[in-house]
Amino acid sequence: MGCKHIWLNPKYHDDNQQTICKPNELESFLCNPSQPVDRKLLNRILGSLIGLALGDALGAHVESRPHEYMIEHPVKEFDGGGTWSLAKGQIINFSLIMRCGFDPYDQLVRYKCWHKNGYMSSTGKCFAIGSSTRQCLNVFEQRQRDFAQGNKISLEDLDSFNKLEILNSFDINCGINDATDNEGLMRRASVPLLFHQDPKKAVEYSGRSAKIIHANQNIYDACRYYGALIVAAIQGMAKTELLDPDFYKKQEDWFGSELLQENVRKITEGSYKRKNGYQDDENTFEEGVLAAVNRGDNTDTRAAIYGQLSSTYYGYKELPSRWVEHVYAVKFITCMDKWIAYQNSN
């Protein structure tokens, strides 16, 4: 995102920084690009992050409900309440937000601010944080303390959003090697969206942005492949091309010298198309996202993963308007997406 976008930095209602401003409270600080953006590109970018929000919101109120429960009580429309007592259309927290370029240290600082202060949370508080992320941030904070002491730097300076050259020696790889959850995929879309004009960077950064939290190689490779799919969707590839068992082989140059792990590669080649493990979305976002939610268990994560990719393919204009109108902080999301499109149009 643009360096001058102060609305992406934490803002508080009080001088003691006890009550953070939530995304829907930042509208007065928003500013749109001064030049027009590519409308076709914006349709896909806006689709991706609104689709993420829709999947998150649809699944949040039934998170952790087993498949058997969902068979008897399927989600058919937006609703509130449930596991986290969220309002209708409210989401758990926003997608990964970055400043200029790819800065994994900045990413960790923002995650830490979410964990500690509720940065970019729809409730102003951190909730639904995964165990892998929590462990990673504990490691990150300890490394910050050690680094600050060793270099005679205040922790406040280390937490600032100004790039410090001395941070080049900071070990940002705080991820847990045995992490096996799917959190890494849940909010990955903003990375390939930002860098889609350079598929190699988009794929590399999709993996690296996940690896600092989830060090497991399978998660790293899954995020790289997922980033490649989003880039391909932005480019306008057909669904048959995105689901082609040979997609990886055909786009192998995007992945550089690092080959996918064998078990991840098998999934890309179609091993997921097993009985009761795969369901076609019948060429509509609505059918697909509801199917993802109604699988049960980790409902918000699965639906958000589906939502990011499928709505990049379908585009914003194909999303159900009766749902979009209830999305939390939609003006904030729209403004952010305009800047992503602008940076890729100029």
181 is in an annotated binding site: no
How many residues does the structure list for the chain? 346
Annotate 275-337 with DSSP letters as a single string: TTT----TT-HHHHHHHHHTT-SSHHHHHHHHHHHHHHHH-GGGS-HHHHTT-TTHHHHHHHH
Amino acid at 137: L
Residue 34 DSSP code:
S
C-alpha dihedral sign at 291, 295, 296, 299: negative
Q: Rounded CA gap, 13 and 338, in Å?
A: 27
284 is in an annotated binding site: no
Residue 2 burial (CB < 10 Å; 0-12/13-18/19+)?
middle
Buried b (16+ CB within 10 A) or exposed e, 285-297: bbebbbbbbbbbe
334 is in an annotated binding site: no
Q: Rounded CA gap, 136 and 109, in Å?
A: 12
Annotate 109-157 with DSSP letters as a single string: HHHHHHHHH-TTBSSSS--S--HHHHHHHHHHHHHHHHHHHHHT--HHH
User: What are the distances in angstroms from CA 61 to CA 54, 83, 89, 293, 299?
Assistant: 12, 5, 10, 10, 9
Specify binding-site residues for Mg(2+): 103, 300-301
Give the annotated binding-site residues: 103, 300-301
